[in-house]
Copies of this chain bind each other. A is one copy, B any other.
Amino acid sequence: MRYKPEHKEETHRRIVETASQEFRAQGFEGVGIAKLMSVLNLTHGGFYAHFADKEALVAEASVLALDQSLDYMRAAFEQGGFPAVFSYYLSEGHRDHPTLGCPLPTLSAEVARHSLPMREEFTKKLMEVFETLAAQMPGQTLAEKRASVYAMFSTMVGAILLARAVSDNQLSKAILTSTHHQLLSLINEKVD
């Protein structure tokens, strides 16, 4: 069969999209190429017409996941500023559905063990995320705004990470609400 000119790009896009979701749910190592392709009704051999190797997919899919996550946070911010961002990020919904959530809690530990080129692409996109949010952050200087964003992200990412690991739902909720309150009081201080 011969395909329309945009068909290949579309398939490529679908592979990255599905991979970015599966990776967030199962980790990079938990998702095999054969299984991934079969979800899309394709066979594993065709994968290498789209990507040099799995590492290339890992890089593209991570960047896409960061981009999507930034979109969610931007949407929340537009609705209600940083408090809305915290409510979204530290929600039980986000905790229970990593598939469409922020890739940082699920994938950062694995990223740290990956190849330098992959980590560089990831870092570049992460800086973009940080800069976008720093622009909205209260503070005197850009350095100060950035510092607030780094600390804010560390807190949010760590909270979701721990809330997901823990088997006790009461503790899990307590982790989310405690960090939520801490972040809210930090933001309120800065606004004053």
Whether A110 pairs with B27 at a CB distance below 8 angstroms is yes
* In the complex, the 9 A-B pairs of residues with the closest C-beta atoms, listed nearest first: A158-B158, A154-B158, A154-B159, A157-B158, A147-B178, A119-B167, A112-B164, A151-B182, A108-B165
Nearest CB in chain B to that of A114: its residue: B165
State in angstroms the CA–CA spacing of A190 and B105 once bound together.
28
Whether B162 pairs with A108 at a CB distance below 8 angstroms is yes
State in angstroms the CA–CA spacing of A120 and B186 once bound together.
33
**Which residues does chain B contribute within 8 Å of A166, judged by CB atoms?**
119, 122-123, 126
- Number of A interface residues in the complex (CB < 8 A): 49
A148 within 8 A of B: yes
Which one, B113, B120, B182, contacts A26 given CB within 8 A?
Answer: B113
Copies in the complex: 2
Whether B27 pairs with A165 at a CB distance below 8 angstroms is no
A34 within 8 A of B: no
Question: A166 to chain B: closest CB distance in Å?
Answer: 5
Would you list 21 pairs from A and B whose C-beta atoms are within 8 A, ordered by A residue? A27-B109, A104-B165, A109-B109, A109-B161, A111-B165, A116-B167, A119-B165, A122-B165, A123-B171, A126-B166, A127-B168, A147-B174, A147-B178, A153-B162, A154-B158, A154-B179, A155-B155, A157-B162, A158-B158, A158-B161, A161-B161
Interface centre among A109, A156, A166 (most CB of B within 10 A): A109
